[in-house]
Amino acid sequence: MSAEHEDLICLFIDNIWMHDGLSQNTLSSYKTDLVQFVIWLEQSKNTLVKASSAEVEDYLSFRYQKNYSARSTARSLSCLRRFYAYALEQGICVKDPTSKIESPKLGRPLPHTLSESDVEALLSEPDTDDALGTRDLAMLELMYASGLRVSELIKLEFSQISTVQGVLRVSGKGNKERLVPFGEAAGEAIENYLKYGRGELLGNKQSDLLFLSKRGQGMTRQTFWYRIKHYASMAGIKKHLSPHTLRHAFATHLLAHGADLRTLQMLLGHSDLSTTQIYTHIAKERLKSLHATHHPRA
C-alpha cells in the first residue's frame, strides 16, 4: 500500500477518534476495511480519492464472491461512507461514490426447527403410564398443535381451553387475545392428562392452571425446557433445540403444507407480518433440501 494511502487512512482514523471517541476495536476494524479496499483498488492502479461508484459496487461484488458475510460487507460499506463524508468535508474528494449504493440486506438468523419425523420421535417418548409423562405429552402435543409461546403454555388456565371445540383463548404479548385451534391428537393428550395425571400432581391443593409441576404448582420455563431436552435426548435428536423449537416447527410445517402468512401471523400472535415472514425462508430451505435429496436430476 502506498505511503499516500497510509497517511490518508491515519488522518481519517485520527479524525473519527477525536470527534466520536470510538473504541480501539472499532477504529481497528475501520482501518482494516479501508486497507482492504485500497489494496483492491491498487490492483487496477486506482486510489481512494478517485474511486467511482462502479468501483465501489465491483468491490462489494468481489466480497460477495469471496464469501464475506453480509454483516462484514455492510460494515465495510459503512466505513467507506464515513471516509468519503470526511474526505468531502476536508476537500480531499469532489464526490461521494457511496451515495447511491444500498447497504446489503443482513437478514435475520433462521430459527432452529425440527422435521416432521423429528417431532414424531419426540412425541413418542413421554411415558403415559406416569403422571408426569401424561402432562409432558399434553404440553408437547399442544405446543406443536397451536404454536404457543412457552410463557403462554405454562400460564394456561382451564377457562382458556375447550377440548370439545378444539380451541383455546390466549393472552399474548401486550395482553392481546387470540383464538387458536388445535387438533384431535392434542385434545386426546389433554383429556388423558386431566383423567390420569393432573389430579395426582395437584394432590390436596387447588389451582386454575392447566399444567402443574410435580409439587402441584405452576410450571416454569426452565422446567419445561429441561423436559424437552430430556425427551429429545431419548429420541436421539442431535439438532440444536430451544424452548420455542416446537413453536418454530408448528409454523414451518404449516407453511410447508400450504398455510398462508396472514393466517400464520394470527395463529402465532405476531403484531407485524415481517416477523412471520422469517418462516418462509425456512420452508424454502426445506424444499430445496427435499429437491436436492429426491429429484433425479438435482
Q: Is 269 exposed, middle or buried (0-12, 13-18, 19+ CB in 10 A)?
A: buried
Q: Let me know: does 135 contact 199? Beta carbons within 8 Å.
A: no
Asked if residues 264 and 279 have their Cβ atoms less than 8 Å apart, the reply is yes
The three cell numbers of residue 244 are: 420455542
**Which residues have a catalytic role annotated?**
149, 173, 244, 247, 270, 279
Q: Residue 78, class by beta-carbon neighbours within 10 Å (0-12 exposed, 13-18 middle, 19+ buried)?
A: middle
Q: In 149-277, where does DSSP find H-type helix? A: 150-154, 184-196, 198-202, 221-234, 245-256, 261-268, 273-276
- CA-closest candidate to residue 250, choices 156, 108, 102, 150: 150
Beta-sheet pairing, 167-171 with 177-181: antiparallel
Q: Cell triple for residue 35?
A: 486497507
Of 241, 247, 239, 287, whose CA–CA distance to 270 is shortest? 247
